[in-house]
Structure 1
Amino acid sequence: MNYSNTTISSRSDATLVATLDDTTFQIIRYGSIFIFLFGTIGNAFNILVLSQSPFRSSPCAQLFLFASVEPFQKDSPQKCYDATVACRYVTDLLFTFLPILPLIPMLVFGLLTIQNVRQSRNRTIPTDVSRVPTVGVTVNFNPTNRLKRKDHKLATMLLVQIIILCILSIPLGMDKVYSSVMADMQLSELQVAIGSLLYNIAQLLHFLANAVPFYIYTLVGGNSFRKLFFRLMITGSSCYAYVSLPSIDGETNELLKKIFNSFIGGLSSAVDDDDDVDCSLSILLLFDMLLL
């Protein structure tokens, strides 16, 4: 009876191990492709937008630009990881804290930089009132308020990015601590399969931390980042308005060109408006990019 129960238990464990291994394989296959594609596209857009002239004078934006370039760098393998037990423990300990430690000076110096820039602008830019005599309307123009809003958006981008990076990086550090503690223990096949699944999920989350900054900036980056991004996309998309479609006759092709030009013109006027770009514009631009 005990032998029968042991056999059934071993079979169920083997089935569960096979299921976990297959789940790990599928997560690595599709998760890594998703992160690679969206991360590459997002960081490329970040470099394109943050390198434009409106952001060149902002130290915080330059920090975001450097952070967008860094994921494209190639890391060198850790040759001494398994040299000795001490090397393995030291490497795991460093790998546990290295994803988190840079976030602390990033937060401190980012906030200090924004505060310094805000104070310097308050000293150099006065508040004035300009009148428009042709219309007879008094317009209060306060550039300091606009700059404060921009700095506030940059600070929001920084804080949200740091929080998300912490959430996505901490699981891998915890898994490295667990693997270091359990390294010298005898584990069953089921425990190894569970550990492999958790490790790969934590590693993908760590990679995801390098892929999400663009989408963070687009959602919480304020009007300046979205406007500049949409304007660049419109400028690039408008180049396709004069490309002939060989499978369509000339009259239909010209009609499509006119519709496309009207669509792009409407988007351009909407982006140039002072109000925030609304959700409908974002959806239209998304469909425009997908169709092209």
Structure 2
Amino acid sequence: MSSSDASAIAAWNNTSAAVNRYFSIFIFLFGTIGNILNILVLSQRALRTNSCSLFFLISSIANLAAILSGLTTRMLSGWTLDLTNTINWLCKLRAFVLFFSRNIASWLIMLAAIDRWLLSCRNVHRRQMSTLKNAYRGIIITIIFSIILYTPVLFCYEANLINSPLKCYSKTISCRLFNDFSYACLTILFPMITMLLFGLMTIGNINVVKNRVHVSSIIELKTTGNPSILERTTQTSKKKLDNRLSFMLFIQIILLSLCTFPQAIQKMYSTLIPNEVETPLRIAIENFIFNLFLLMTYFAHGMPFYIYTLSGGTVFRNALKQYVEKIYKF
């Protein structure tokens, strides 16, 4: 090995270690605080009675679980010993909780996108499907599905491995193929593609409804006069909440896609491309890419609160302000 290659390998390894050590701390604090605030705000009665807000609430709980289970040990490994790398049962438990919570978070945002589409449909029967009862059903089904999907992790993952991206990782090739395909296809690609599809369909429905409402309002004013002030206020408030929730959802879908697609592509590449003779330099570069893309997924788990605060308009910010004032008075 030449001296230039040795220097490059050392540089890549040091960069990877620095990213793991410092970026993990930032994401941990950023995500933990944001998700706790999300849970507190979305738990308020005014928001949790909305089906989309309920999906956001449970998704925030899952995001918090993913950050705590995945980043705590990863963050500490840069400073001290990571017990999940050496203790088998801890390795299995951490992997299961991480994949389980990630799948729940991803699928609930997908269900929120479907819920927004149902609410925007012209068909009254579809709009009536957007209810709290159906939201609870969707959450329960998602939890059961996630448990079934990632129970094999308890068998596949093992500590003290060598020649793997992490010491706590799938122990056999068949396990890696199953876990990588399950995670890439069912936890990332399928939910994200579904979110984007229903998001575009919702935008199309909203544009159609806006035109029809405008025409209907003109006809109604000519025939019956102005509706009551109370009726208009109620309709305006509900419409404002629904529109803001839809906008918050669209922004989250876009950012989630940007943060999670790279890891899905990397997983599919490493699984489908036959193993070649790899040089130490290539291994160092691939480890850096693996760690960077992995941390991007944790960043996706930590950003919803900041998305909601910036894109939620007065609806979310007022709810946050009311909660802070309530705590202050207490």
Q: TM-score, normalised by structure 2?
A: 0.58
Greater Rg over alpha carbons, structure: 1
1:15-34 aligned within 5 A? 15-34=7-26
Measured in 2, the distance between the counterparts of 1:107 and 1:226 equals 26
Q: Distance in 2 between matches of 1:85 and 1:223?
A: 51
One-letter amino acid matched to 1:15: S
1: CA distance, partners of 2:196 / 2:50:
16
User: Contact conserved, 1:107 with 1:158, CA < 8 A, in 2?
Assistant: no
Normalising by structure 1, report the TM-score.
0.65
**d(CA) in 1 for partners of 2:326, 2:234:** 28
Match of 1:174 among 262, 265, 273: 265
Aligned residues: 214
> 1:53 offset after TM fit, Å?
1.3
Amino acid at match of 1:25: A
In the aligned structure 1, how far is the partner of 2:52 from the partner of 2:182?
Answer: 27
The amino acid of 1:102's aligned partner reads: P
Partner of 2:96: 76
Given the alignment, which residue of 43, 50, 54 partners 1:51?
43
Secondary structure at the residue paired with 2:228? Answer: strand
User: Unpaired runs of 5+ in structure 2?
Assistant: 70-94, 98-152, 158-169, 214-225
Identity over aligned residues, as a percent?
Answer: 35
Separation of aligned partners in 2, 1:224 and 1:209 = 23
Letter in 1 for 2:36: A
Give, in whole Å, the separation in 2 of the partners of 1:68 and 1:107: 20
Q: Where does residue 4 of structure 1 map in the other structure? A: none
Query: Which residue of the partner structure matches residue 160 of structure 2?
Result: none
Matches within 5 A, 1:84-103: 84-97=172-185, 98-103=187-192
Write out aligned runs for 1:186-205 (5 A): 186-205=277-296
Which amino acid in structure 2 is aligned with residue 96 of structure 1? A
The equivalent of 2:129 in structure 1 is none
State the match for 1:37 in structure 2.
29
The structure with the greater share of residues assigned to helix is: 2
Aligned to 1:231: 322
Which structure 1 residue ranges, 4+ long, deviate > 6 Å from structure 2? 107-112
SS at match of 1:128: coil
Provide the C-alpha distance between the structure 2 equivalents of 1:183 and 1:193, rounded to a whole number of angstroms: 18
Aligned 1:92-171 pairs, distance under 5 A: 92-97=180-185, 98-104=187-193, 128-130=227-229, 141-171=232-262
Any conservation in 2 of the 1:96–1:174 contact (CA below 8 Å)? yes
Match of 1:276 in 2: none
Work out whether residues 128 and 142 of structure 1, in 8 Å CA contact, stay in contact via their aligned partners in 2.
no
CA distance in 1, matches of 2:254, 2:328: 34
Deviation at 1:183, TM superposition (A): 6.0
Gaps of at least 5 residues in structure 1 are: 1-6, 131-138, 240-292
Q: How far apart, in 2, do the equivalents of 1:107 and 1:181 lie?
A: 25
Give yes or no for the alignment of 1:65 onto 2:57: yes
- Counterpart CA distance in 2 for 1:158 and 1:45 is 17
Change over 3 Å in CA distance of 1:106–1:63 after alignment to 2: farther
CA distance 1:22–1:237, change in 2 (3 Å):
farther
Is the 1:43–1:213 contact (alpha carbons within 8 Å) kept by the matching residues of 2? yes
Which amino acid in the other structure matches residue 18 of structure 1? A
